[in-house]
Chains A and B, each alone.
Chain A
């Protein structure tokens, strides 16, 4: 899939402290963070970060506290001035922008949602939602109409005249989100936006965000330390450790191929059955039988015997799934006197194929309750592959080597 790059970060550094230049040269000599701090009292915030964010995706930057993720997001709108490197937004280098260009870019292109909400306590909910537009010099009736629309998107238009401190935390963050949406930005930066909310409200807000995202695709850069959150909302995830970006990929990619122990440790507590889908693990190693005029039960049986398989997956010429046959069901048909012998008569009853988007959790009952591997179909009903008990357990084992050992069933 060809993706359009919205934000490109190249070799980005942020060094805090009295001697950034000295620290940079020590870094180039290969000294590590602790050594540099000892020598120069200078802290490396972000170190040689490079990645691309595509248009319309939710890009999660994840890491523990101190990993540099908050610094990273603030360099994207230059609330923090990078020490070295490039941030290109729509092909424009924002590091070389002067103050006027920067202010314009912040007003038109991006907005931000904060962990602490950061609502103006002296303004009403409506004025808060209209804040970005007010900075941009939009006249009052227009900006209030647009702010009201944004409040409606998050279900808070009834509270327009309230003051922020009259609202609950979850509602306050909805106002924060409305303030971000009101300026209709290309890019929404969300700095631990839901971390201060209690778990139930947090999930609700994630759903809200996904709902909004389904309606109008924005590029969202979401900072989080919560893996479940990253998995739920992220199209792709960048994992940061000690100021470096250690891995970038889809949640499935990272879960299946963690690049190092740090990343693996992150995922240790994760239940892979919630994240991996049937489509992710389906394997196309079963025998498929294309149903055509000439395909007789006898020929199908021959193929199964030759491949030493008990079950065959019947598809049409468009790979549309038709049914499953077994060596036993085929033999029954062949033994019958009636003609013509049709493969369709040998289909095993009670087969419910699963969809590629179903989670491992969803397909577990079907996988364990039948001797055959569960067929997995894509959205068009085409056969993708199948998931056997063996395959299912092997996936569990690979994701969590400490808990599941010696599964060879």
Chain B
């Protein structure tokens, strides 16, 4: 049977994609260089901010946030973590990573929350969106790392774009879930009192979906942090650098302190954002 003859490649999809990306790079590189500008600008301002502020001020700000939203013990943990990272000689890298994470999470929120709302209010849109979200979460980052570099060139911005692709789904999914979890009777009540669809969204659905949206934001932060090492492969810098460098030169110690710093930063950001979500 010819149909089940799998010895020869019948669909040369790989070649088509190769050709397609080459064509994009050749003709539209300029365009991609332009659309990366907003990401570049926000990232540079954040990096400037974190490198200009004295470490003392940054530690104090995080400690205050930890105290307010979580508690005294978390504030102590935050201070100790930052001090340890500094004493390990990774302060600068930590600030770069912090800037990258905040920048990518901000873009994820700007794009993800509206998409999540749309998905929450339309079954069709949700159905359309789901395969894309699945692909974004499961496609190995290395697959899209190279086209991203080809289009946006090596550097921190490419790292952020790759991070956004990976970290965007949770906030969309959890915003969608939050909107859908609002009790239909509440929507009905709002409509019965003459609410417009926009009022239903703003006065009922969004406030009630907030805890879920915050949980999504928290997940997005964690996923962004987990991309730090991969982003370092394309020259994004930050805490991924010591890890990548350590791997390349078999300096296990260097790789470990890089990894440890990422974990500490993740714990601090996770606890504080969860604390905010529960307030």
Interface residues of A (CB under 8 A from B): 77, 79, 103-108, 111-112, 114, 116, 118-122, 131-132, 134-136, 179, 183, 189
In contact, B208 and A114 (Cβ under 8 angstroms): no
> Given known contacts A114-B185, A118-B189, is B204 in contact with A135 (CB within 8 Å)?
no
Tell me the nearest residue of chain A to B195, going by C-beta.
A135
Tell me the nearest residue of chain B to A102, going by C-beta.
B194
In contact, A136 and B191 (Cβ under 8 angstroms): no
Measured between alpha carbons, how far is A120 from B193 in the docked complex, in Å?
13
User: Distance in Å from the Cβ of B182 to the closest Cβ of chain A?
Assistant: 10
Q: Judge whether B199 is part of the interface by a CB distance below 8 angstroms.
A: yes
Please, which residues of chain B bring their CB within 8 A of the CB of A112?
A: 189, 192-193
In contact, A79 and B191 (Cβ under 8 angstroms): yes
Measured between alpha carbons, how far is A10 from B193 in the docked complex, in Å?
24
Contacts A/B (CB < 8 Å), 9 sampled = A79-B192, A104-B194, A106-B191, A111-B193, A116-B185, A120-B208, A131-B193, A132-B193, A135-B195
A105-B194, A112-B192 known; 20 other A-B pairs, CB under 8 Å? A77-B192, A103-B196, A106-B192, A108-B194, A111-B192, A114-B185, A114-B189, A118-B183, A118-B185, A120-B189, A120-B203, A121-B208, A122-B208, A131-B190, A132-B194, A134-B203, A135-B193, A135-B194, A135-B199, A135-B203
User: Distance in Å from the Cβ of A154 to the closest Cβ of chain B?
Assistant: 17
User: Distance in Å from the Cβ of B225 to the closest Cβ of chain A?
Assistant: 31
Measured between alpha carbons, how far is A131 from B186 in the docked complex, in Å?
12
Please, which residues of chain B bring their CB within 8 A of the CB of A136?
A: 194
Q: Judge whether B188 is part of the interface by a CB distance below 8 angstroms.
A: yes
Tell me the nearest residue of chain A to B199, going by C-beta.
A135
Measured between alpha carbons, how far is A179 from B192 in the docked complex, in Å?
11
Q: Judge whether B207 is part of the interface by a CB distance below 8 angstroms.
A: yes
User: Distance in Å from the Cβ of A376 to the closest Cβ of chain B?
Assistant: 44
Measured between alpha carbons, how far is A80 from B196 in the docked complex, in Å?
16
Measured between alpha carbons, how far is A114 from B191 in the docked complex, in Å?
13
In contact, B193 and A122 (Cβ under 8 angstroms): no
Please, which residues of chain B bring their CB within 8 A of the CB of A183?
A: 193
Tell me the nearest residue of chain A to B186, going by C-beta.
A118
Please, which residues of chain A bring their CB within 8 A of the CB of B190?
A: 131, 135
User: Distance in Å from the Cβ of B210 to the closest Cβ of chain A?
Assistant: 8
In contact, A118 and B188 (Cβ under 8 angstroms): yes
Tell me the nearest residue of chain B to A112, going by C-beta.
B192
Partner of A122, one of B188, B189, B207: B207
Please, which residues of chain B bring their CB within 8 A of the CB of A107?
A: 193-194
Measured between alpha carbons, how far is A183 from B192 in the docked complex, in Å?
12
Ranked nearest first, the 3 interchain pairs of A and B with the lowest CB-CB distance are: A107-B194, A106-B194, A118-B189
User: Distance in Å from the Cβ of A82 to the closest Cβ of chain B?
Assistant: 16
